[in-house]
Structure 1
Amino acid sequence: MINFTATTAVTTAVTTAVATATDTTSPGNLKWSTTATTVMGNGYGSDPDQLKYADGLFIEPKTQILYVADAANNRVQKRYPNGKIETAAGRPDGEGGSTPDKLTSPSGVFADESENVYVADLHNQRVQFWQKDAKSGKTVAGNGTTGSALNEFNSPIRVLLDSKKNIIVVDLQNQRVTQWSLPYDPTKSVGTLLAGGNGAGLNPYQLNFPVGLYFDEPNNILYIANDVSHSVTQWELGTYGTKSIYAGIPGRPGSSAAQLNGPEGITLDKYGNLYVADCMNNRIQMYCPNAVYGITIAGTGRMGNGSNEFYFPHDVAFDSELNLYVTDTYNFRIQKFERIK
């Protein structure tokens, strides 16, 4: 579910029963509070502490600064551990555009310890680099035009950097993930295909509107959430790398423990557990290594605005203490679930 500007509520209720994290033991024996506190988001708006359909979420490991792609405000906001909130990229007032000082529907964000940010600038078909305190950004991937050539994007929605500072981008409507090397040259730079590129489909070697990404660099594996096939693909990089469905049942959306419905953001913890923002099911699912069934660790499975509920969650992240953070997109807030064990 990737429409950031829709205002009509979905009327189909999710009626499945769900387990909580306190019902089971995972690698690391992890448990979280079942209710959250709001760490960002004071309703719908463009004030510094407000959000409009926030999407991608990232917590920088060393500084513990939280970054969120505030999509309909055309900006990236950052929250320091002391609670201070600032704009990291884009116009603070939310004005969008394609000039270097503006963004249009930014959807993914990655940051380094120096507070420089990389932004998947969805509707401008580019990835922008903003230095700390900069008033404008620089293009580091894509040429700003919509297309399927390897120097183009068709809706870049997630971005991350590996340890060699290669830029890895989820190219949503081109059904692929590409890698870009620095320095960027607008006349010469092209991406290298890492995953997908075989059209949309349900096979392990195909992506189907990829929206979430995690790179397990030590094992050279990409985890990719496919919105339309309702699954997470495990894509081993390399010429003969294997491709397999890691979570969900391709083409069969649902709310059982084995199913997903419109999965969005994903992440892994240090124990190898996979976490999925199961958007249309309004829950966060945890998959222990090699598990077939997910465990609901946050959300009730029903749409709502209570402290234990979501309205289309779009991304997940952890801080250094493994507290869980969730972009609760249509409630215009970021929720924190404290780790209790």
Structure 2
Amino acid sequence: MALCLQIRPKVQSIWKHHPYICTAVLVLTGLVIACILILKLIVLRQHSKLTGIVIVEIISSILLICCDLSIKIKQQTMDYHRQHSLCTRGHRPRCRYKCHWLKQADTNNHRIQIWFSGASNGITVAGITGSNGSNLTQLNYPQSVVVDSVGNMYISDGNNYRVLKWPVGASQGIIVAGNGVGGTTFHNIGYAYDAKVDSSGNIYVPDSNDGRVFKWTPPSSSGTLVAGQYTRSGSNADQLFRPSHVIIDSVGNIYVCDCLNNRIQRWVNGLSTGSTIAGTGIAGSGSNQLDIPFGIAFDSFNNLYVADSGNNRIRRFNLTHA
């Protein structure tokens, strides 16, 4: 049993990264077994009273089983890719129910862990358990992690004031945003609880301390201001106050969890001001109010989910006509 538990994650990892190879191996294995059975039937035919019709029927059944196996494996592979694409968009709250694994930032242990469905223990895939530091093998109070379409992790490395890209299977990360020193220049991140990556590989970082959102395009060493003001927090339409989380849609619009302004702001791609789509800007517990929102997510029906932390609740807003 212990050996099975050790082998299982390795097998799952191989299937995850090489699904088509695994499919081909399984199909070929099935065909080899079928050929062996057919040869045995031929031998039995020569030494018994099995009729040709019976042999044909048995062979047909074997081939049908092989075809069915191939179809099922192909379907499972397609299902995996559909599920994986949902998970890596970073704004699908249902993905953790569809996927076979969950990656989580274990902040106080300075690591990222992957948890497979049904497992009782996680596996560390980035950082060193209990050891914080600024080396590329270490993390320092990581705040969040997202995964792109090929499995690379993007880690908001909180107290290291940087975002690390952690390639699949790598033992260390690559700095793709920030320079490891907190600050207010275009090279720095004041503090970030979140980071998101779009389909082009751009990284969006809500700089909470500086009231802004930067877009970093690797391998650039500096960011571009895309929401908020350079170093001035506030409550005006062109300002943010302690932004905590962001979402980027398919056309480049930015949705910002404007934490201490008690609102969710949408910044249309290219505009210098945002518009409020949830909350009123005044803390409260009313049906149209938020109190220190600290997390946002979308589902496939354009519903916006907000972690309304000051009210200890999750709010849902439908933005179909917003």
What's the TM-score once normalised by structure 2's chain length?
A: 0.68
The alignment partner of 1:330 has SS state of helix
Matches within 5 A, 1:231-250: 231-238=212-219, 240=220, 243-250=223-230
Q: For 1:117-149, what per-residue CA distance to the aligned partner results, in whole angstroms no more than 9, with x for missing partners?
A: 000111110001001121111100000211111
Conserved 8 A contact 1:127-1:140: yes
How many angstroms apart in 1 are the aligned matches of 2:317 and 2:243?
A: 19
Q: Alpha-carbon deviation of 1:338?
A: 1.2
* 1:252 alignment counterpart: 232
How many angstroms apart in 2 are the aligned matches of 1:263 and 1:200?
A: 16
Matches within 5 A, 1:220-231: 220-231=201-212
| Partner residue of 1:311 out of 285, 291, 299 | 291
Determine if the alignment matches structure 1 residue 159 to structure 2 residue 148. no
Matches within 5 A, 1:195-214: 195-214=177-196
| Partner residue of 2:174 out of 175, 189, 192 | 192
Q: Alpha-carbon deviation of 1:114?
A: 2.1
Q: For 1:148-196, what per-residue CA distance to the aligned partner results, in whole angstroms no more than 9, with x for missing partners?
A: 1111111100101112211110001100011223336xxxx11111111
| Partner residue of 1:299 out of 279, 283, 290 | 279
* 2:154 alignment counterpart: 168
| Partner residue of 2:102 out of 117, 138, 141 | 117
Q: Alpha-carbon deviation of 1:272?
A: 1.9
How many angstroms apart in 2 are the aligned matches of 1:303 and 1:60?
A: 37
Task: Tell me which structure has the larger Cα radius of gyration.
Answer: 2
* 1:150 alignment counterpart: 136
The alignment partner of 1:266 has SS state of strand
* 1:179 alignment counterpart: 165
Conserved 8 A contact 1:140-1:182: no
How many angstroms apart in 2 are the aligned matches of 1:159 and 1:116?
A: 14
Q: Alpha-carbon deviation of 1:304?
A: 1.1
Q: Could you say what the CA RMSD is over the residues aligned between the two structures, in angstroms?
A: 2.5
How many angstroms apart in 2 are the aligned matches of 1:181 and 1:318?
A: 26
How many angstroms apart in 1 are the aligned matches of 2:178 and 2:187?
A: 6
Match for 2:132: what amino acid? T
* 2:112 alignment counterpart: 127
How many angstroms apart in 1 are the aligned matches of 2:211 and 2:319?
A: 28
Match for 1:286: what amino acid? R
* 1:271 alignment counterpart: 251
Structure having the higher helix fraction is 2
How many angstroms apart in 1 are the aligned matches of 2:249 and 2:91?
A: 18
The alignment partner of 2:188 has SS state of coil
Conserved 8 A contact 1:120-1:159: yes
Determine if the alignment matches structure 1 residue 282 to structure 2 residue 268. no
Change (3 A) 1:67 1:222: closer
Change (3 A) 1:112 1:236: farther
**Structure 1: gaps of 5 or more residues:** 1-58, 69-78, 81-109
Q: For 1:59-100, what per-residue CA distance to the aligned partner results, in whole angstroms no more than 9, with x for missing partners?
A: 98748xx999xxxxxxxxxx86xxxxxxxxxxxxxxxxxxxx
How many angstroms apart in 1 are the aligned matches of 2:180 and 2:144?
A: 19
* 1:104 alignment counterpart: none
Q: Using CA pairs under 8 Å that are at least 6 residues apart, name the structure with larger relative contact order, 1 or 2.
A: 1
Change (3 A) 1:237 1:119: same
What's the TM-score once normalised by structure 1's chain length?
A: 0.65
Aligned pair count? 237
Conserved 8 A contact 1:212-1:264: yes
How many angstroms apart in 1 are the aligned matches of 2:179 and 2:222?
A: 15
Change (3 A) 1:193 1:62: closer
Structure 1: which 4+ aligned runs deviate by more than 3 Å? Answer: 59-63, 110-113
How many angstroms apart in 2 are the aligned matches of 1:340 and 1:253?
A: 30
The alignment partner of 1:211 has SS state of coil
